Amino acid sequence: MQWLLIVLLSVESSPAPAVAGWDEASFMQELNQAKEQALHVASEIRVDITHVVVPVIVTGKDGRPVIELEAANFRILDDKEEQRVTTFAKQEVPLELGIVLDFSGSMVGNYALAHEALLKFIKTLEPRDRFFILRFGDAADILRHWAHPTPDVVKSLEEDSILKMGCTQFTARNKKPGDTSPGQTMDCAQGSSTTVLLDAVLLGIQYFQKTPPSSQLTRKALILVTDGVDNGSKTSFGSLKNEAKGTEIQIYAITVPPKLSRQEIAVDPVHQLTNQFQKYAQYEQGKAFLKDLSKDVGISGNPNRRVLAMEKIPQLEDRFREVVQDLRQQYTLVYPLPPRDPSPKLQWHSIKVELVPPVKEYKVYHKNGYQSN
């Protein structure tokens, strides 16, 4: 079974820092390639399904994962008909993670710390895990394609100015007289007033679906690090849920609350405090949206397992670790797609997973169905 991890991080406008030694021609070539890839990924998708993959979490009375169960302890029903599980896996399953970075308005000043947390997280992944990185502000694009956490990949991420500084675009700047440094000096534009969160999540799902199937069973998850605000997406919430519903992709969200400096409040306390209340109202609305999005996608059940609050950026590394721990403590059940008469329209098929024998103190969380024709 496969997993996808998407991380969303936000950004506000501030004076544009300069990046010395930047090769403008190479940057523009990579940017155009990324745009072409994004357009290709966004094209119509059709997936032929031969098996149904069901991620399952079992928790005990204390709320902690129960990880000692075996295949014989599970019974799975598809449209109320019992199915034969052909593949069963526990913690050893590799992960496929899509990391989606929100470069919109709320992360200016936090890029360096977020970049550091991201690097530490990637270094904890196992060699057989893989990830991609997607960013968004007023548009969404793939920043890094699928990669394993090799030393060379980590080193390239360490030196990535776009990730470190949260740049949405670079523009050439004339050198000052006497500047003999090599390469073209570029200005880094940070932040955007528009946020296309829904478009970014859809692009992440589609990018994963465009990926050639792996020869081994993996798990996939999207992890969003964001305040949950969306004010510019062309994708509707309903169409996004329909696209994600029934897939084995799990969605996690790491929420970042808005912050206002004491200096800003001292300058204009009435206006800034009013602005802060508005930001917190948007933040709470965003959290509710993320819970609604994640609760029925991948694994249904308690949405609090899918939305993790973060008070400040240094906690990002801990939240990454919690997500991966949650992913590694799951079960994967696979069964052949039941034969059905062809239908011109997608049909919803319900799934129910039961324990054998039943244990009253245990709770079972799993995806509640899928679509097929």
369-372 and 140-147 as β-strands: parallel, antiparallel, unpaired? unpaired
Mean pLDDT for each consecutive 10-residue tract of the chain (373 residues)?
A: 42 39 49 45 46 89 88 95 92 87 71 80 92 89 93 90 64 48 51 82 91 76 84 88 79 75 55 68 78 71 68 79 86 90 82 93 88 75
Which residue is it, tokens 């534009």? Answer: 189
State the Cα–Cα distance between residues 297 and 305, nearest whole angstrom.
Answer: 12
Residue 175 has a pLDDT of: 46
The pTM assigned to this predicted structure is 0.73
Angle at CA of residue 3, ends 364 and 142, nearest 5°: 145
Residue 44 has a pLDDT of: 34
Q: Phi, psi (5° rounding) for residue 199?
A: -60, -40
Residue 240 has a pLDDT of: 87
Domain ranges of the chain: 18-372
H or E stretch at 173: none
184-190 and 18-22 as β-strands: parallel, antiparallel, unpaired? antiparallel
Tokens at 267, concatenated = 């300058």
Residue 153 has a pLDDT of: 94
Inter-residue contact 366 to 300 (CB < 8 Å): yes
State the Cα–Cα distance between residues 274 and 266, nearest whole angstrom.
Answer: 13
Point out which residues pair with 309 in neighbouring strands.
Answer: 255
Looking from the CA of 191 toward its CB, the CA atoms found within 13 Å total 14
Residue 270 has a pLDDT of: 61
Residue 345, SS3? Answer: coil
State the Cα–Cα distance between residues 191 and 35, nearest whole angstrom.
Answer: 19
Q: Phi, psi (5° rounding) for residue 306?
A: -110, -10
Residue 107 has a pLDDT of: 62
Q: Is 109 left (phi over 0), alpha (psi -120 to 50) or beta?
A: left
Instruction: Return the axis-axis angle of helices 151-158 and 111-123, rounded to nearest 10°.
Output: 180
Residue 316 has a pLDDT of: 83
State the Cα–Cα distance between residues 138 and 122, nearest whole angstrom.
Answer: 26
Residue 127 has a pLDDT of: 93
Q: Which CATH fold would you assign to the domain 18-372?
A: Rossmann fold (3.40.50)
State the Cα–Cα distance between residues 1 and 95, nearest whole angstrom.
Answer: 8
